[in-house]
Amino acid sequence: MLHQIAQEVFHVPLMPRNSINCYIVEGVLVDCGIRSSYNTVKGVLQKIPVHQHVLTHAHADHQGCSDQLCDEFGIPLLCHENEIFRT
């Protein structure tokens, strides 16, 4: 399920395969997939703790479950100021 790419860099494969990407880079969650990706990403975060969540941009396939993950794990969400009202 989880692929380590380099030291402290992990790829979290999400469905649909090869079209949605999620990464953990030095304790930062980068994107999180669609809403239904929640359980997969939650399981990964229970094994690899993160201290913040960053969005590359606020499309549903990148931030679908951001609210749930940030609430459950108590992590701040960071994004570009132009994306704030889309999240």
Q: Which CATH superfamily is domain 3-86 in?
A: Ribonuclease Z/Hydroxyacylglutathione hydrolase-like (3.60.15.10)
Q: What is the pTM of this model?
A: 0.91
pLDDT digits (tens, 9 = 90+) for 27-40: 999 999 999 999 99
pLDDT at 55 over 80: yes
pLDDT digits (tens, 9 = 90+) for 4-26: 999 999 999 998 776 788 999 99
| Residue 44 pLDDT level (bands cut at 50, 70, 90) | very high
Q: Measured between alpha carbons, how far is 25 from 8 in angstroms, rounded to an integer? A: 6
Domain boundaries, the chain: 3-86
- DSSP string of 10-72, one letter each residue: EE---SSTTT---EEETTEEE---SGGGHHHHHHHHHHS--SEEE-SS--HHHHTTHHHHHHH
